[in-house]
Amino acid sequence: MEISEHLAALDREGRALAEAAASAGPDAPVPTCPGWRVRDLLRHTGMVHRWATAFVRDGHTDYRPDGGEPDLDGDDLLAWFREGHALLVDTVRAAPDDLDCWTFLPTPSPRAFWARRQAHETAVHRLDAQSALAEGPRPVDATLAADGVDELLSAFHARDRSRVRTPEPRVLRIRATDTGDVWTVRLSADAPRTTRDAEGPADCELSGPAGRLYAMLWNRLPQQAVTVTGDASLARLWRETSAITWS
């Protein structure tokens, strides 16, 4: 995906998140984030948006901690969230292509990194916000979802901090049935290694529409939401060890 496509997704997903939060109300439980209510989701996501904005706007080339979550609620909290989301979209859109600032995943450029990362940060939390509604969340667009699966597998879980590991080498395959994208994840005692291919046999395959794979791999849907063939213990391993947490 191009930067312009990630920015369009970031804009769209953030607006949808705000709309769902307004409909659900700040006290509504968020089923996909046990223990959270909508106010917690807005405070967290709004904080992340402002944290990301500062790197792009101010050109920080080293890590800076976030500014903390606000003591806001109700309409004031929703307005604060919308303001921060719009500021993030505008800031990344206006940033130069040769932007130099801190990032934490492999990327063609810092501007491309922040557009992509915040598009997916916001899309995942849009699923959370809509899970608070009776009708539940709408699937993430297939193209965006496939891109997000790639970011999760090829970037987040390529890091040494990934806990998705097996004592002996195993192979997990992820197949998006609507977009045609396929990933092969080689598991071992080291960090996973992912390639975009279907080479060789797999011990377990997870297949389904990209939007369902995206939500399942981000632990927003149960593994039963996709088709699991082969050794289902690898699907359970993913569920138990793959969580990406804020730190």
* Residue 246: predicted pLDDT: 83
Contact 8, 116 (CB under 8 A): no
* 3-131 has CATH 3.30.70 classification: no
Residue 139 has pLDDT above 80, yes or no: yes
Selection from 122, 26, 15 nearest residue 76 by Cα:
26
| Mean pLDDT for all residues in the chain | 97
Instruction: Quick: pLDDT tens for 182-193.
Output: 999 999 999 999
pLDDT tens track for 91-112: 999 999 999 999 999 999 999 9
What one-character DSSP code corresponds to residue 24? H
**CATH 3.30.1050.10 residue ranges for the chain:** 142-241
pLDDT score recorded for residue 187: 98
Residue 50, H or E segment: helix 38-58
Domain with CATH 1.20.120 in the chain: 3-131
Confidence of residue 6 (pLDDT cuts 50, 70, 90): very high
Neighbours of 131 (CB within 10 A): 22
CA–CA separation, 202 and 235 (whole Å): 12
Instruction: Judge whether residue 247 has pLDDT over 70.
Output: no
- pLDDT band for position 208 (cuts 50, 70, 90): very high
3-class SS of residue 4: helix
pLDDT in tens, 23-76: 999 999 999 999 999 999 999 999 999 999 999 999 999 999 999 999 999 999
The dihedral sign for the CA sequence 131, 132, 134, 135: negative
Among 3.30.1050.10, 3.40.50.300, 3.90.550.10, 3.40.50.80, name the CATH number for the domain at 142-241: 3.30.1050.10
